[in-house]
Structure 1
Amino acid sequence: MNPTKVSECKVKSRTQIAVQKHQSVQGNKAELLYKTEVVEIFQLAFQHQRANRLVEAELLYTQVLEKQPGHHEALYSLGMLAQQMGQPQTAEQWLNAALQIQPDSAKTWFSLGNLRLVQEQFLEAEKAYRQALVLVPDSLPIYNNLGYALQQQRLFEEAIKYYQKALKLKPDFIEAEANLGNALHAQGKLSSEQQLHYAQLNNKLGVARKKAGDLKTAVTYYKQAIALQPDFLEAHYNLGLALQEQSELEEAIPTAVNYASSKKLLKINPNYGEIYLNLGKIYQEQNNLTEAISAYRQGLKLINPHYTKVIESEQTSEIAQEVSVTPQISQGNVTVGAYQFPAIGLVPDSEKARPFWSVVVTVYNRTDYLLECLTSLLAQWPGEEEMEILLMDNASETPVLEMVNRIGKGVVRCYRNPENIGPVNNMNAGIALSRGKWIHILHDDDCVLPGFYARLKQSLEDCSDSIGAGFTGFEYINGKGEVLSSQEYGYGEQRGIPHDWLWKIGTICIVMLPAVVIRRETFERLGGYYPQLPEIADWEMNKRIASFYDWWYEPGILARYRLHFQRLSTEYWGSSKQPTAFRQAIEIAESYLPSEFCSEITAQARSQYFDGCLESALIPLKAGDIFGAFRIIQETLKLDRSPEAAVKLFAWLTQTEAAPLREEIIAKLLSVPVDNIPTELKPSPTAIAA
């Protein structure tokens, strides 16, 4: 053999081996990279699912299956996701597919059983649970749920056997104990004392499930509690609340009425006047105001003895409550900084002692939520020596005062303006007529929560004169009374004077009117609300007070502010009025903010509201109102003329939503003089469009 040839063969052989090794390594790397990618996608999908971003999670789980069709966890997760989305048939398909891949997955069998249980397919649920039990012989939840599936098939003895197995493993397993009691009750095997015990367990579980958002299960537990103890008032009350939240109002009303109206039961616990208040809300939602007023009155009489005393004396009087015409208010002014604000005169001398509180409720035409507002207030009314309530009717065209008299005659003092004077002037008129040491203003659709006045009075009664106002946490609610979010400011449970409040309130409006109380002397010194800012007069007032006084913070959620999205979007937040009002409020505050903080607070406020107003321009854009969007941007530019703001604007204009009008807007904006914007920050329309 030719030595050279042999050598060449050896070289080729070594080269081939090296190449093969390299290819093998690269293949392993590629496979590892592929597996890592699948894991990362799955983990991201799982995070989305936990955060309730279900659509995003579904898309990512689908991507996992495209890369790895037999991915058991993705199939299982899609099943759970479909169940979350209210798609039980799809959920069962995914779970069955997961079992095809991994038939020994106990959690998949258990989840399939739960899915069938919810659909009341009790025999099929039993089969799935038994499969899971084969794989995991001693499981508390499987024992309990299997027992429940058997109980629903009236196989009580076998159901009891599994409940007892669960309790042997965990004696304090409350779900299994309650279910055991329910099964024994169905067989007539409980004493009256045991029935009460198990009724209380069911009610407790109902409360827990309602808190977790599982209203359907909560209703089942409440009904079982009532079956065990028919005169269990708390369970009836809780059932009424749960049904109300489910919008089953027709069922909720008789539930509340049949048992709340029993004088015998109410004598046992008079605090259940809350049942009537809840009933009033149900009637109010149905726009049955006559029944709502009756229920609210009955509830208030049971809850508040001060209210009862006045109402009962008023019932014996045939004299109709007189409605006062709002007297002429002094038109003087108070100068603060570079602006003038409506003067609030001193309280006239009188032999009558001044109350601690003056609550001013403003109303114009709207009656949808007025009863609920007044009820939340009257439930806490401590008597006329402690609180006066003034209702300021801004020349309503609806029978507002008649409604107020039916629930608040003798307690609420009503004034009616001869003509509409605007919302801010109406508030100022109420403040001017007040005699209390501290003022609280409520819109007709807001409300206070239990403890609002008692807790704030306890903190403010002997506070330093340096404190000009107080505030507490509050909730944003929608038209249905559902909680949207809450505001607690980051101070925790620490009550007292927050020393960074001027910075917070100076930068952004983070507290709403119903959560604020103001010392009357503060108004007398600094003036009332500024009428030229009808939408955000409270923000300017709060900044004015914080510039000269300390504020007191009372922890907890004690008030509710109602948002009406449709009205706000069309009339204000989607128009150029919004940036104009914010700019004016910032400029007014700039004239009186403490000099050492003024520049920085003002700059932060301008930047904050520039961002928000810029985003609001999308509202008219999406509605096809190009001119409206342009007007918002034009006014927003006056809010913040910094180079940073210009960069934000140009970035905003690159959005897809801005495409139809981008070049027209830029052409117009570049003709508007904008101070301090370098030439290089003014790209051509074509450059931005690209």
Structure 2
Amino acid sequence: MDTTNISESKVKSLIQIAVQKHQSGQKNDAELLDKTEVAEILELAVQQQRDNRLVEAELLYIQVLEKQPDNPEALYGLGMLAQQMGQYQTAEQWLSAASHVQPNSVNTWFSLGNLRLVQEQFSEAEKAYRQALVLLPNSLPIYNNLGYTLQQQGLFEEAINYYQKALELKPDFIEAETNLGNALHAKGKLSSNQKMHYAQLNNKLGVARKKALDFKNAVTCHKQAIALQPDLQEAHYNLGLALQEQGELEEAIASYQKLLELNPNYGEVYLNLGKIYQQQNNLTEAISAYQQGLKLINPHYAKVFAATQENKDEISATPLLLQKEVQIGEYYFPLIPSVSETEDKRPFWSVVIPAYQRPDYLLESLVSVIAQWSGIEEMEILVIDDASTPPLYQLVNAIGRGIVRYYRNPQNLRQQGTWNAGVSNSRGLWIHLLHDDDYVLPGFYTRLKQSLEGCPDSVGAAFTGYENINETREIIFRQQLYGQNRGIVSDFLQVIGVANPLNPPAVVIRRTTYERLGGYHTELTSTLDWELYKRITTFYDWWYEPEILVHYRVHSQSMRTELSLSGDRIASIRRSIEISESYLPAEFCAEITAKSRRHYFISCLADIEIPLKAGHIAGAFRTIQEVLKIDRSPQALAKLFAWLEQDRAAPLRDEIALRLTSLPLNNCVATT
């Protein structure tokens, strides 16, 4: 990610203006009139920052400073933003400016202390914390953090004093109690039982820090727990997890291997080692670790895998059915045939994994499903290889022999063809389409089945909470659309009709829903899932399962990135809006469609930056064309022209000018 849109010189200039403006104490009439607008921009900036849209948040904060150079909230916001992006020197500049403008802000001084603490500038952090404590005496976090900075400087007695002050105010303050134990341990003042107690506390605090994505402190806590109790298995395991998520893979391997010396049958450790070897592109070691882990955690897998010989037979081609269609509204969709009657009991689940050219991610996706497999009577697993070269058969067979059915398309059918082929060849009551680069979390199938077994026939599909992760497994987005309110959702058409808040791996669909409404539209190269969700919502209810049960991976090799570069993604969004307009209920259609066009105009305008940054000017130009087909209202045109005025849009402006000057002039007619 490009982490900043402003130069260092501009940062210094803005900070200087902010300090001078505050010292002058002057306010002009224009600034007073801008108060409402500034408040609105600040609110939007905070929301963008909360949603991890860091570049957008930064630009909004800068807009505020251009109107009010000494606005303390914008200065503080930019400081926190810079720290979030790892730009510590810039963060120091912004927060120092905020402290000049608003010297009585506890938040600013406390944040300055935290910033310096992260950089191990302990004496400077101490000064900031002491200033915050003057402004807000008896503050638990300040007592704790000040104590920690003193402890890091070797001032143990003073540190212990501050921890004890915090615990007098809140006896169950785990951070202060843990730090107190560590300080006492450093002074040699703990008994054996006390060491065990503080080891557990360190481990517990490490888990909490990891959950807050503070991996550095999580690692410190787990290492301290091991120092206090070397045979604490939980601490070794959690240390390995924290190191793994921090990208310290060799250290994580060492931590896991130490744990296996303590407990050779710790199945989850082998699965985590498999992920590391996969990330290192060592697929042979990854397969071996995954096999061992699955055997230890899943007795159903161990039994079938041991009884099945490695199959060297010829690869099965995907059975492709005759192309029949079903009409919904004014459009036709591929017919999904009903399941033929046999003596075999149909499984509850069909998990369909379309796969193409991503052997590393496919392993993890498969393992996440097989770990929850409890027999063919309960779940069938299909991998549909979309003509990968070389075929993915050996990889699938190495992990899933005896369990996974592997098919290979005779030619590349792309996403829509592969999805339809997978659904058509499934036999389960409920179908789960899982991307080959995503994976399910423990409990996905069990929790959904508990809810769906008893739900009414009006429910045609269901979805769970999910998280987006990047290539290094960092969580970059979390979605729990209806909070913790499990059950049938109401007014979902007004949500899904406007925009798509779902990701396919978090969605399961009843097979009879496909049979009635058809499969995925063959014309759409992107957003084909969204169009189907709108079709389903027009005729069926949806069930919502609130837990986070899926990880959706966002990475540079994803199909979305490829389609965004060419402009195909925006074209599919536009086409999806046109298709659903033909079948949405008449009383809601016009309103939903208009909202959808407005929403995607703004969203797709931001997408132009993807081909622009890649130097794909033709793709950016096509995106502009498709955006205008989505919404060409005067308001939309005004936003487009304003966007084109930005510096980063210069290459696209040049392309538009070039194409305009290339138009033939003989279409112009002179009049007198």
SS of residue matched to 2:488: coil
Q: CA deviation at 1:425?
A: 1.6
Q: Which residue of structure 1 lines up, in the alignment, with residue 3 of structure 2?
A: none
Quick one: distance in 2 between partners of 1:580 and 1:135?
A: 56
Q: Which residue of structure 1 lines up, in the alignment, with residue 380 of structure 2?
A: 388
Q: CA deviation at 1:229?
A: 0.8
Q: CA deviation at 1:251?
A: 0.8
Q: What does 1:207-606 correspond to in 2, within 5 Å?
A: 207-263=207-263, 266=265, 273-314=267-308, 317=309, 320=312, 323-489=315-481, 491-565=482-556, 571-606=562-597
Quick one: distance in 2 between partners of 1:138 and 1:579?
A: 55
Quick one: distance in 1 between partners of 2:498 and 2:95?
A: 52
Quick one: distance in 1 between partners of 2:336 and 2:453?
A: 22
Q: What does 1:639-658 correspond to in 2, within 5 Å?
A: 639-640=630-631, 645=636, 649=640, 657=649
- Report if aligned partners of 2:621, 2:656 keep a CA contact under 8 Å in 1: no
1:633 matched to 2:624? The reply is yes
Quick one: distance in 2 between partners of 1:129 and 1:410?
A: 61
Quick one: distance in 2 between partners of 1:366 and 1:385?
A: 29
CA deviations over 1:172-216 (Å, ceiling 9, x no partner): 443343334334434554333222111011112222333333322
Once structures 1 and 2 are overlaid, which stretch shifts more, 124-133 or 345-354? Answer: 124-133
Q: CA deviation at 1:466?
A: 2.0
Once structures 1 and 2 are overlaid, which stretch shifts more, 591-600 or 85-94? Answer: 85-94
| Amino acid corresponding to residue 215 of structure 1 in structure 2 | F
| Amino acid corresponding to residue 211 of structure 2 in structure 1 | K
Quick one: distance in 2 between partners of 1:494 and 1:378?
A: 29
Q: Which residue of structure 2 lines up, in the alignment, with residue 660 of structure 1?
A: 654
SS of residue matched to 1:274: helix
- Report if aligned partners of 1:362, 1:444 keep a CA contact under 8 Å in 2: yes
| Amino acid corresponding to residue 254 of structure 2 in structure 1 | P
CA deviations over 1:552-585 (Å, ceiling 9, x no partner): 2222322222223566576322434334323332
- Report if aligned partners of 2:181, 2:198 keep a CA contact under 8 Å in 1: yes
Q: CA deviation at 1:75?
A: 11
Report the CA distance shift for 1:196/1:532 in structure 2 as closer, same or farther (over 3 A).
Answer: same
| Amino acid corresponding to residue 277 of structure 1 in structure 2 | L
CA deviations over 1:567-611 (Å, ceiling 9, x no partner): 657632243433432333233223333333333333333333334
Q: What does 1:171-186 correspond to in 2, within 5 Å?
A: 171-186=171-186
Quick one: distance in 2 between partners of 1:110 and 1:537?
A: 48
- Report if aligned partners of 1:178, 1:202 keep a CA contact under 8 Å in 2: yes
Report the CA distance shift for 1:449/1:94 in structure 2 as closer, same or farther (over 3 A).
Answer: closer
Q: CA deviation at 1:503?
A: 2.8
Which sections of structure 2, spanning at least 5 residues, go unmatched?
Answer: 1-23, 668-672
Q: CA deviation at 1:261?
A: 4.9
Quick one: distance in 1 between partners of 2:84 and 2:296?
A: 42
Once structures 1 and 2 are overlaid, which stretch shifts more, 77-86 or 508-517? Answer: 77-86
Q: CA deviation at 1:436?
A: 0.6
Quick one: distance in 2 between partners of 1:109 and 1:643?
A: 47
| Amino acid corresponding to residue 449 of structure 2 in structure 1 | K
Report the CA distance shift for 1:243/1:670 in structure 2 as closer, same or farther (over 3 A).
Answer: farther
- Report if aligned partners of 1:321, 1:410 keep a CA contact under 8 Å in 2: no
Report the CA distance shift for 1:625/1:289 in structure 2 as closer, same or farther (over 3 A).
Answer: closer
- Report if aligned partners of 1:472, 1:557 keep a CA contact under 8 Å in 2: yes
SS of residue matched to 1:358: strand
SS of residue matched to 1:361: strand
Q: CA deviation at 1:336?
A: 2.5
Quick one: distance in 2 between partners of 1:528 and 1:49?
A: 40
- Report if aligned partners of 1:253, 1:279 keep a CA contact under 8 Å in 2: yes
SS of residue matched to 1:485: strand
Once structures 1 and 2 are overlaid, which stretch shifts more, 463-472 or 628-637? Answer: 628-637
Report the CA distance shift for 1:292/1:32 in structure 2 as closer, same or farther (over 3 A).
Answer: same
SS of residue matched to 2:359: coil
SS of residue matched to 2:468: strand
Which sections of structure 1, spanning at least 5 residues, go unmatched?
Answer: 1-29, 267-271, 674-690
Q: CA deviation at 1:523?
A: 1.6
Q: Which residue of structure 2 lines up, in the alignment, with residue 22 of structure 1?
A: none
| Structure label with greater radius of gyration | 1
Quick one: distance in 2 between partners of 1:203 and 1:400?
A: 41
Q: Which residue of structure 1 lines up, in the alignment, with residue 7 of structure 2?
A: none
Q: Percent identity?
A: 61
Quick one: distance in 2 between partners of 1:624 and 1:171?
A: 58
- Report if aligned partners of 1:284, 1:292 keep a CA contact under 8 Å in 2: yes
Quick one: distance in 1 between partners of 2:627 and 2:190?
A: 71
Q: CA deviation at 1:284?
A: 1.5
Q: CA deviation at 1:350?
A: 1.0
- Report if aligned partners of 2:247, 2:472 keep a CA contact under 8 Å in 1: no
| Amino acid corresponding to residue 381 of structure 1 in structure 2 | W
Quick one: distance in 2 between partners of 1:100 and 1:239?
A: 41
CA deviations over 1:645-672 (Å, ceiling 9, x no partner): 555555555556365356567789999x
- Report if aligned partners of 1:630, 1:665 keep a CA contact under 8 Å in 2: no
SS of residue matched to 1:473: strand
- Report if aligned partners of 2:245, 2:473 keep a CA contact under 8 Å in 1: no
Report the CA distance shift for 1:597/1:226 in structure 2 as closer, same or farther (over 3 A).
Answer: same
| Amino acid corresponding to residue 528 of structure 2 in structure 1 | A
CA deviations over 1:372-426 (Å, ceiling 9, x no partner): 1112211222321111001111221135221111111111111122322332222
| Amino acid corresponding to residue 555 of structure 2 in structure 1 | H
| Amino acid corresponding to residue 283 of structure 1 in structure 2 | Y
- Report if aligned partners of 1:330, 1:343 keep a CA contact under 8 Å in 2: no
Q: CA deviation at 1:474?
A: 2.1
Q: CA deviation at 1:460?
A: 1.5
Q: CA deviation at 1:110?
A: 8.7
Q: CA deviation at 1:140?
A: 6.3
| Amino acid corresponding to residue 376 of structure 1 in structure 2 | S
| Amino acid corresponding to residue 583 of structure 1 in structure 2 | R
Once structures 1 and 2 are overlaid, which stretch shifts more, 612-621 or 385-394? Answer: 612-621
Quick one: distance in 1 between partners of 2:440 and 2:430?
A: 16
Report the CA distance shift for 1:190/1:540 in structure 2 as closer, same or farther (over 3 A).
Answer: same
Paired positions, count: 629
Quick one: distance in 1 between partners of 2:98 and 2:310?
A: 75
Q: CA deviation at 1:61?
A: 9.3
Once structures 1 and 2 are overlaid, which stretch shifts more, 362-371 or 619-628? Answer: 619-628
- Report if aligned partners of 2:334, 2:518 keep a CA contact under 8 Å in 1: yes
Report the CA distance shift for 1:234/1:507 in structure 2 as closer, same or farther (over 3 A).
Answer: same
Q: Which residue of structure 1 lines up, in the alignment, with residue 4 of structure 2?
A: none
Report the CA distance shift for 1:590/1:172 in structure 2 as closer, same or farther (over 3 A).
Answer: closer
Q: CA deviation at 1:362?
A: 0.6
Once structures 1 and 2 are overlaid, which stretch shifts more, 164-173 or 385-394? Answer: 164-173
TM-score, with structure 1 as normaliser: 0.76
Report the CA distance shift for 1:215/1:59 in structure 2 as closer, same or farther (over 3 A).
Answer: farther
Once structures 1 and 2 are overlaid, which stretch shifts more, 394-403 or 109-118? Answer: 109-118
Report the CA distance shift for 1:226/1:462 in structure 2 as closer, same or farther (over 3 A).
Answer: same
